[in-house]
Structure 1
Amino acid sequence: MDACGALQKEFNSKSLFRRAIALNKIGLNKKAYFDLKRCFELNKENKEIKELIKNLKEKKDFEIIDLTVFQKPELLQSKKPLIKMELKNKL
């Protein structure tokens, strides 16, 4: 079960915390920040939550790039081999 599914089944601070951690790991820091704020309202004595909120306040989200995948007819396809390109994160 994923973190969002767990929250639909049972809304509690543990589920919010797990989803916030998952969102943070994939670079969705704003969403993680808001989940942690809600989590902190439910569990104010947790120092780990407080520390994560402090750290996330400064972070920016990764930029989401929408990619469209399509297939060209063989007649229009290039005969040159593909070139491997490396994308670098600017954050």
Structure 2
Amino acid sequence: MQVTAALKLTKAQWSRCNMKILAQPAFKDRDKNPYTWLVYSYLATLGVDVHEFSPQKLLINHYSIWHRHWPERNLNEPNFFRAIAKTL
């Protein structure tokens, strides 16, 4: 689905999409940066199932989208192997 088409969906149409998002971060960093909290709170009102990331959830459950915010933070790690591990 194209982004412009998705923006035109009604609340009922969104709820029928059965979209499940694993977000990193989703809600936990609200005090530091409310951006992700605002985005995912709004999507939740539309019926989108949003979950905070954890490695266990990624391995055990099925998600439509794994949305990772600011992955470059982990890549600034001086140790190459630690940077790769933190990014995964």
Say yes or no: TM over 0.5: no
TM-score, with normalisation over the residues of structure 1?
Answer: 0.31
Give the structure, 1 or 2, with the largest relative contact order (CA under 8 Å, sep 6 or more). Answer: 2
Larger Rg: 1
Q: Which has the higher helix share?
A: 1
